[in-house]
Amino acid sequence: MPDKTSKYLNRELSWLEFNQRVLDEAFDPNVPLLERVKFLAISASNLDEFFRVRVGGLRLMQQQGVTRPDPSGHTPTQQLKLIDKRVRQLQRSQYACYFDELVPQLAKSGIQHVHPKDLNDSQLTFLERFFNSEVFSVLAPMAVTGRDDFPLLPNESLNVCVRLKVNRDPGDDHAPVDRFVVIPLGMALARLITLPSDGGLAYVLMEDVVAMFVDRYFEGERVKECVPFRITRNADMALQEEGASDLTAQMESLLQERRQAECVRLEMPMSVTKKTVRFLLDSLAVETSNVYHHPGPLDLSELFSLASRSGFDDLKAESWSPQRSTQIVPGASMFETIADHDVLLCHPYESFEPVVQFIEEAADDPDVLAIKQTLYRTSRDSRIVNALLRAAEDGKHVTAIVELKARFDEARNIRWARTLEEAGAQVIYGVQRLKTHAKCCIVVRREPEGIRRYVHFGTGNYNEATARLYSDISLLTCDDELGSDAVAFFNAATGASQPQAFRKLEAAPLGLRDAVLELIESEIERKRQGQKAAITAKLNALVDPAIIDALYAASQQGVPVRLNIRGICCLRPGVKGISENIEVVRIVDRYLEHARVISFHHGGDPRVFISSADWMPRNLDRRIELLTPVEDPVCRDRLIKILDCYFLDNVKATVLQSDGTQRRLTSDDAEPYRVQEELYQMVCRSVLESEQERLTEFVPHRAPGK
């Protein structure tokens, strides 16, 4: 439980509560079975990243002797103790979900995890052939004696530790009793091995197959123990940018450093013996407190591969195919469409295709002079990057800010950056000391009336794959002032200069926080004057103390504050005299909520914004971010309607309590309302109405030239 005397909730514990909410979906019997499996895998994958980054960072602070408390009043050491307790609770819940809920129901549905003792004769014969033909040839055992010759194992890889009895001379009392061998399982072979069966799907785990036949590696020796283990390394490495003559080389060095970083978590089965535990602790320089014993398979994130297998459609969620936007006439040029009206897209309910089409049209249009774009995270085979390559090769002026410091996407971004440079694009490797997290693309086009700037602003990455999984907002506009601001923003970022004063945009780390604080203060002042006031925000995280304090001040003046915060929230809602007018809702459903949308009542003339930034110090102080106003009345009103929907959900919503726990909302007697489903149905209804209008519209074919 957090310290109730603090104004703020601890950010790490708040994140763990979010991950508990993800895990709750795996327990929910109303969720299709393989979707429940997926949520369990997501909760495990989330926890891996939490250890890599958050726990790793706190351990570095602890080693450096940092005792400064965080805003919630906890030192790094205190936070690590609280984290350890909560993580162990969370992991117990994960394995309870796996064993008590999912495994039995999967077996009933024809998907069976077979243990070695339950294999039938044909399955044993199959596995023996499989081991001899593939496993024995691919996997290589590595003899180790301790820390000095222990192999450099990849982060979060699964490995097997084998303990062998040493055949020593009878008179040699000083010779070791046991010797150890490590077998890295690698990624070349699948973790889940499909078995022959009479129906459905039967599978066995690779580590079990290795354990069954491991003696083949050690003819004439006695295998005393064979157990899997997994390490998690610290990935919170600092990049020394000052004076770096080659940022690419620095990033590649950082990636190498990350591969060799200290182990912050060692996972093993509960069945492991004390001898093997001690050997691994000594060899990996891991403290006992960093060991996590599990009652079942390590690395539950591997269940992604089970949930995504073809077949078993009745155990999966109904497909929600992204719909076309009714704001865009099929077959029409994106330039003609945007010149006619602003376009607001709500992904993934509405397809991301218009954004891709916008950039591809720009690449192939002879009237386009320049394309300027930020790239933070992209897909593996990115159509957007390929369009930029074509544009550069065609002689267009292409400027790309490729953020090399995008954590865990550094290697891919380095490859894209080099490829773009080779094609003739001007590539900026981010901005020193800051991450470029803004989502913006400018197309400069020569038209009969003169030069026109078309701009895309988004809350999500230029990634066609995640655009089908993340809930985000896109705005396409040729508003002259927004275009002018966007160009000024790019020129400042690429030219290492102070940007000119923006007309409509706000950018971090310059004035974004101040702009938000001014907007909050404006609502407070209107309330003081007896006017109606209201603040509504949808974000991924709320951590910044200054903004939290401003929201507390608004609550104390009677301003109703509605917050939809997907993940971390350090604000305490519902505290008498401080935040009783603040409501914090969280939605966890089939899509990852990722959009940042903010609305201020503003005396009945709402001011509505989309943003790339969460309200966190890292976004407001250490990243380049954008806050973009949505002023077109149609787009603005639609965005307000979308925002309001998030506070009607009584199926997938939880309400944050003042102690940091969450209370699940239920429909009870009310009609069930699931916001993601409703947003999808709204888009489908819009498409259907649009098609019906087209059917009743008579459009004559005319002779050419008429």
Tell me the sheet residues that pair with 474.
Answer: 345, 458
Tell me the sheet residues that pair with 507.
Answer: 626
- 466 — phi, psi (to 5°)? -70, -20
Task: Report whether 164 contacts 279 (CB < 8 A).
Answer: no
Residue that the structure tokens 């590539």 belong to: 427
Known catalytic residue at 174: no
Task: Report whether 236 contacts 56 (CB < 8 A).
Answer: yes
Residues 6+ apart with CB under 8 A from 379: 463, 464, 465, 466
Task: Report whether 213 contacts 128 (CB < 8 A).
Answer: yes
- Helix, strand or coil, per DSSP, at residue 88: helix
User: Which among 203, 156, 421 is positioned nearest to 301, based on CA atoms?
Assistant: 156
Rounded Cα–Cα distance for residues 254 and 238 (Å): 8
Q: How many CB atoms lie within 10 A of CB 520?
A: 23
Q: Which of 437, 456, 594, 601 is catalytic?
A: 437
- 424 — phi, psi (to 5°)? 105, 5
Could you tell me the CA-to-CA distances from 293 to 155, 498, 565 in Å, in that order?
A: 18, 53, 33
Task: Report whether 585 contacts 653 (CB < 8 A).
Answer: yes
Could you tell me the CA-to-CA distances from 96 to 18, 20, 32, 87, 303 in Å, in that order?
A: 18, 13, 18, 14, 15
Concatenate the DSSP letters of all residues of 506-534 into one string.
EEETTTHHHHHHHHHHHHHHHHHTT----
- 591 — phi, psi (to 5°)? -105, 145
Task: Report whether 371 contacts 385 (CB < 8 A).
Answer: no
The catalytic residue positions are 437
